[in-house]
Structure 1
Amino acid sequence: MAERHLTIVGAGLAGALLGILLRRRGWRVDLYEKRGDPRVQGYGGGRSINLALAERGRHALRQADADEAVMAHAIMMRGRMVHVGDAPPRLQRYGRDDSEVIWSVHRGDLNIVLLDLAEAAGARLHFDRGLDRVDFDARTARFLDPRDGDAHEVAFEALVGADGAGSALRAAMTRVTPLGEQVDFLDHGYKELEIPPTADGGFRIEPNALHIWPRGHYMCIALPNDERTFTVTLFLPHHADPGTGPAFDQLPDVAAARAFFEREFPSALALIPAFDRDWAANPVGQLATLTLDRWHLDRRAVLLGDAAHAMVPFHGQGMNCAFEDCVALAQHLDAHADLADAFAAFEAERKPNAAAIQHMALENYHEMRDRVDDADYLLQRELELALQTRHPARFVPHYAMVTFMRMPYREALERSEIQRMLLSQATDGIDTLDAVDWAGLDAAIHARLPPLEPESR
């Protein structure tokens, strides 16, 4: 049988991983990327929130024999280190112990590792090739070199769009048939800064945590990097609104931004010696949720990752979800000889799960900025862990289902909504676990939460 061929548009994280997975299955793979080769010219920064690698992503990396190479650049994060007022920072663990953690990894480091592995696996990489237009009837695509405008026409069997939220392939597909695209912009944007190493090359603050400075309607976070830096990200409304505090449009220059940090984040500012430079150099990024009614065009094209379902970054699952997409698409290509059937089955499996994690990512933003220092939240979190010990086959904390398991996102959302209601009812009007009606709560859990399937635990 002739060697099958897929053309991947976008050689970022998902495109490179998919290239590895397909090459391992014997596919001929070409990856086209509009940027230059980051292994030659470096990876541009200023618009890339650090990434949180969780079990879903690590499972996908293991399928590509990429986990070990990636983990060499990863820093363990045990939980959220919460900075409130003048009080010492307080660690809120993500899980029960160090077996339940997430990993901080810089997008650039991860992309370079995956590109090297894709190339070693036999994928052909084409940089400085931005998709310009597609003739789906003739099965040809035209790519332009942004450096000189030269056009490069290529034939394809099928196109895979791994080219991010601003996907050029999605735009080309939309010209052929409506995809039902909807983009909902968050009213908050983000700005990146950096905490450098100490003079002797160490971390300035606890490295094995995601640091968070919650302030109600806005917040700062800091994630560690393997070069002993932290990527700091300020999340703030774009526009001022009475009653919600400051906004980016109230910080017209570096002086105003510095004054804002001196007032709201003094402990963070003290860690950022190049604050003025970073603020001036790094743009304000936008955050949005992208949904589509359709992800594929018969057997000719399919979208995955951010090109199909971009989400806000507050559950740390955008990359992990995209990596799950790659594994699922590869498996459906194994199972279906006809590309149209494979693409349709992939969409049917992944679309409801993408919608579920998009919903949970928006929910988690409110938790991170509003609730992590709230007494009711902390009591419910304490009860979550107690119930996990008490009912390990039925009750698993929301964060654990999403982050430490590979349970479908849709199932995790359904169970989380039931559990949230039970937690709220059980803690209503009390301030310690000693006052919990354990018998009634145990009965409610058995009535409302079926046992988890073994493969989900």
Structure 2
Amino acid sequence: MASSKNEKGKKVIIVGGGLVGALNACFLAKRGFQVEVYERRPDIRTQEVVKGRSINLALSCRGREALRAVGLEEKITGEGIPMFARMIHNLDGSKKSIPYGKRDQSIMSVDRRHLNELLLSAAEKYDNVTLHFNHKITRCDFEKPQATFLREDEGTTVEVPGDLIMGCDGAYSSVRQQLMKTTRFDFSQEYIPHGYLELSIPANKQNEYAMELNYLHIWPRNTFMMIALPNPDKTFVGTLFMPFKIFDSIKTNDDLMKFFKDKFPDSIPLMGEEALKESYFRVKALPLVSIKCSPYHVSDKAVLMGDAAHAMVPFYGQGMNCGFEDCLVFDGIMTKYKNDFSKVLPEYTDTRNIDAKAMCDLAMYNYIEMRESVNSKMFLLRKHVDNMLNWLMPNTWVPLYTTVSFTRIRYHQCISNRQWQDKVLKNTLWGSVYAAIIGGAFALRRTGVTMETIADVGKDLINNIFLKA
């Protein structure tokens, strides 16, 4: 496939051939750059088993727009499964659904490996893209710039000069580690006390889906939870999220079955006891980390994107979408400054950093919502209020989840909008409380209940609505 613009002679070195690296290769190839992608792993398209994270992904608006920009949206969404709502599995076996947005709004369940394979193949179709596998980066010289790789299958070293080094090599990014050694760099990481373990729900005896199809299934249990997303092959990928201390306390098959019978009884016949035991003890639970850093660039020579810049816990389904949007934002700034890296990279950091940090915070917040708040009547009340006001004022009142998943409103502005909504609702409710207090003042005196007590009750009620929404 030929490139559409002429940047012949300029080379971009992309470190990491995962989702964001492969998509960036497509964007840059369209601009005419010579693109070389270096990936530490073997080519996943040739492997039967691929090590690493395999939690199913939830593709939403931001990711879809990025894919659309390189002509891949229809291909990828055509192989995904839309999920229109959460399906909540209660402890007693009953279920309830909570829509994500309006009837036609859905997020898309997509398989991580398959998506990565499609993106690599799409990048490879450009005649100005070269993919290199089994190459481990060992050093970055940001002044030249130049990257040094160890070719692990041969034990040889190769030095690769270029015009830009793009670090798309994940949460434990080697490019970021190199960058931290050479510049003033702010960095923070936080491991939450919860890990995750993948489980599987096969097709039923009729070779059909064992649960309702177009839902993200959630078993919320306050301090931990399990989720399941559908696959095209009639299976569900389940993921158990809970504190490591609980994982560590389950040592035997009996421990495991007692735990699941107590906490997820309806899931046992879906997975099968023997399959559950085999899956649970086959591998250890993996950690979850949130990473923030700044700046994302070094002069006009290097830039970080995706998890290398802003790893987040997976509870808002925005990790991939945020990374894909990185590519789209970067591409827009490239157009603005006509591919001038000296102007593009600083503006990219200034523009993207505040949004990525906001999304990391939202991802942490949503874990509380998914495992706990969805059981709260106050949470459901707030959802109904938001939906009603959105129906009445669609351009003024847009719920937080809708702005994050179904629009491209900047992440930090999504939070600001929510804070404004909270303030409006609190002021409105306080007005109602005060009116009720004044109207019933004489009756209250007769019962012996003070106005201060009623005000405190009203305050607790209002705060509950917002704290648990």
Asked if residue 164 in structure 1 is aligned to residue 164 in structure 2, the reply is no
2:112 corresponding residue in structure 1 = 107
Partners of 2:81 and 2:431 lie apart in 1 by 40
Asked if residue 189 in structure 1 is aligned to residue 205 in structure 2, the reply is no
CA contact under 8 A between 2:10 and 2:162: conserved in structure 1? no
What one-letter code is carried by the residue in structure 1 that aligns with 2:386? E
The CA deviation at 1:93 is 0.6
2:466 corresponding residue in structure 1 = none
After TM superposition, the structure 1 = structure 2 runs for residues 164-313 of structure 1, keeping only pairs within 5 Å, are 164-239=170-245, 247-273=246-272, 274-313=275-314
Partners of 1:425 and 1:42 lie apart in 2 by 58
Provide the identity percentage. Answer: 37
The CA deviation at 1:281 is 2.2
1:450 corresponding residue in structure 2 = none
The CA deviation at 1:425 is 6.2
1:322 corresponding residue in structure 2 = 323
Asked if residue 66 in structure 1 is aligned to residue 72 in structure 2, the reply is yes
Q: Give SS of 2:391's match.
A: helix
Partners of 1:253 and 1:148 lie apart in 2 by 43
Structure 1 unmatched runs, 5+: 240-246, 431-457
The CA deviation at 1:38 is 0.8
The CA deviation at 1:173 is 1.1
Q: Give SS of 1:103's match.
A: strand
Partners of 1:92 and 1:323 lie apart in 2 by 27
CA contact under 8 A between 1:296 and 1:344: conserved in structure 2? yes
1:455 corresponding residue in structure 2 = none
CA contact under 8 A between 2:61 and 2:407: conserved in structure 1? yes
Structure 2 unmatched runs, 5+: 1-6, 433-469
CA contact under 8 A between 1:46 and 1:192: conserved in structure 2? no
What one-letter code is carried by the residue in structure 1 that aligns with 2:290? T
Deviation sequence 1:318-356 (CA, Å, 0-9, x none): 111110100111222233343132111111111111111
1:75 corresponding residue in structure 2 = 81
The CA deviation at 1:90 is 1.0
After TM superposition, the structure 1 = structure 2 runs for residues 347-426 of structure 1, keeping only pairs within 5 Å, are 347-423=349-425
Q: Give SS of 1:70's match.
A: helix
Query: Larger deviation: 51-60 or 282-291?
Result: 282-291
CA contact under 8 A between 2:8 and 2:33: conserved in structure 1? no
Query: Larger deviation: 82-91 or 39-48?
Result: 39-48
Q: Give SS of 2:74's match.
A: helix
Asked if residue 116 in structure 1 is aligned to residue 121 in structure 2, the reply is yes
Query: Larger deviation: 80-89 or 164-173?
Result: 80-89
The CA deviation at 1:311 is 0.7
What one-letter code is carried by the residue in structure 1 that aligns with 2:285? V
Partners of 2:421 and 2:283 lie apart in 1 by 40
Partners of 2:369 and 2:194 lie apart in 1 by 15
The CA deviation at 1:86 is 2.0
CA contact under 8 A between 2:142 and 2:298: conserved in structure 1? no
2:35 corresponding residue in structure 1 = 29
Partners of 2:157 and 2:70 lie apart in 1 by 33
Partners of 2:169 and 2:91 lie apart in 1 by 41
Partners of 2:353 and 2:144 lie apart in 1 by 29
What one-letter code is carried by the residue in structure 2 that aligns with 1:399? Y
Partners of 2:186 and 2:327 lie apart in 1 by 22
**Closer, same or farther: CA 349–106 of 1 in aligned 2, 3 Å:** same
TM-score, normalization by structure 2:
0.86
Query: Larger deviation: 325-334 or 309-318?
Result: 325-334
The CA deviation at 1:421 is 4.2
Partners of 2:49 and 2:66 lie apart in 1 by 23
Partners of 2:173 and 2:283 lie apart in 1 by 23
What one-letter code is carried by the residue in structure 2 that aligns with 1:80? R
1:14 corresponding residue in structure 2 = 20
Query: Larger deviation: 277-286 or 49-58?
Result: 277-286
Q: Which has the higher helix share?
A: 2
Partners of 1:166 and 1:253 lie apart in 2 by 32
CA contact under 8 A between 1:129 and 1:144: conserved in structure 2? yes
**Closer, same or farther: CA 82–151 of 1 in aligned 2, 3 Å:** same
Partners of 2:110 and 2:9 lie apart in 1 by 35
1:139 corresponding residue in structure 2 = 145
Deviation sequence 1:138-159 (CA, Å, 0-9, x none): 4322212334433222222210
Partners of 2:350 and 2:293 lie apart in 1 by 12
What one-letter code is carried by the residue in structure 1 that aligns with 2:77? M
The CA deviation at 1:295 is 0.9
**Closer, same or farther: CA 402–370 of 1 in aligned 2, 3 Å:** same
**Closer, same or farther: CA 218–428 of 1 in aligned 2, 3 Å:** farther
- Pick the structure with greater CA Rg: 2
Partners of 1:146 and 1:158 lie apart in 2 by 23
Partners of 1:127 and 1:145 lie apart in 2 by 8
Query: Larger deviation: 29-38 or 69-78?
Result: 69-78
Partners of 1:50 and 1:385 lie apart in 2 by 28
CA contact under 8 A between 1:47 and 1:192: conserved in structure 2? no
What one-letter code is carried by the residue in structure 2 that aligns with 1:217? T
Partners of 1:343 and 1:112 lie apart in 2 by 28
Q: Give SS of 2:315's match.
A: coil
Q: Give SS of 1:31's match.
A: strand
